[in-house]
Structure 1
């Protein structure tokens, strides 16, 4: 029972300022903050502040019994009732999509590191256990766990979901700051999960006519074949998600020969499909591509397997080969081109293993 609802407290006799503080102190602290990954850029001094602790106390309340967090939820806004917390099995709960679970964990780890408060440590460790439990035996991670029917159960590279998990678990395994408080048992399990995840990545790399290329945004959890997600996300070769996969592989300190070959094949594919001389505008009304000889190279979000032709769709799922042939809603509501390959090329140019056989 809250203080103001307790029968021994006469609210009418309390000063108005006290009543307002009791009701809204936590909410007011968090009201001007929206929870997203930009909070991770703040320094340790901020993470020691009462403001950071208020946000963290709100974040903890959204953690599910399984240990995950909901997607597309402002975790800095404290729930006013249990109904504000997405229930397990609901549309947003227990997700790895849209920075869910991994970013709350990174945030709480910073709090645990600088404050030594066991509440933040325990919540983070429960998140580690969640990530370990969510991994498939073949090494992949789904978009939601516990599993749901439909494309949510595919191995999900889409929007960097699986790669974010692997970056986090690798840092945990290495004992990197701020994860030094993690016990040795969980660190070993995290290292094993990352190794298994890399095996899954190598097995998912799409081979066309005997030549390894890149990855689809999602792969079937059993066959590892490229898989359909939403109606406009077809089995294809992904310019966006594959860039994240290759960047992760190039960040491994001691890559195996198999990893080196996978990276080189992916880099060659990116170089072969880059689009030069065009500028991209994401808009419902403007033309998406306009000629510009000074524009930086572009890569399509999705390429047709085998032909390497960029593909596009409305919500009806019909494949088009010209972005102007889809309606304004999808043309302006989705990112169909990007500079993803620049990060790949830049990383490869500095990669210590680029000359290895």
Structure 2
């Protein structure tokens, strides 16, 4: 049986998430915006309960939570939603990194085409951004700093606490794409200096198609975001559209379970990682960004092994990827690994193994045997 090792692309659903989704998909199916009858009120109550659970994971009030279709939409609202404020206040400088997900890089590139000035921070060899580089890049007209928490390709955990320290004396808004860390690396995201947090349910054992943008208050004022979609008053007018109650309820349960079990889940993921690295040792792999990586991700290359050939060789044993699922159809080299100054062979040979607490133990002997045949 093939073992799924592509959890950075999407995770399996927790059984309790499936149960609550069935309830609000089949039984309590009403529109949460229907205020004239009890069915709508039940749906609305489910949404508000989930809103509270999603906020609790990052220490935010439920009123800070805006439901979206996922982290990509949350990123777009956080970035493009600041355009009007930035222009009006003449603060049109943005700081981000070269290792961000395309859901951050592309909205920022859109603003760059419209006259914004963007500074792209380069990673260190360990795959992390230097807080000193952030400090050097800050300007009086910096409106937004957008730095991911955990890289989706390498698993490298960015030094957010140090970045927060750099930003304490500056009024720039701080946005964190936490798609890969929400419900896993919990404590740092509770820092109130992080103004905006993007997260996605399907990366934390919830359903695809729902996520959230956390918009915290700073001195009693929220980040002055403008909507990028129009057509309804839902989500405080910032994100219009009928709320998918069953997905939101599923997200709420996923968030609740994550907050309750993240420590035990991490222990399980660390054990899988240790087993993987022990097995791979005979192949002398080159690891990428693993010094400060999350417990559930391993990015590496083996000299002489092409990643596409390796993926084919591993079929029937494990299911893995060689990069972000969002750009896999383009077959372009990883911009993350290129930014880390890896060699062309390392970039072309890079494999990403990612797992979770629900992952069955792979046959590591079969994995190493299959890969050794390619050398």
TM-score range relative to shorter protein: under 0.3
Query: Larger Rg: 1 or 2?
Result: 1
Q: TM-score, normalised by structure 1?
A: 0.23
Structure ranking higher on relative contact order (CA contacts 8 Å, 6+ apart): 2
Q: TM-score, normalised by structure 2?
A: 0.23
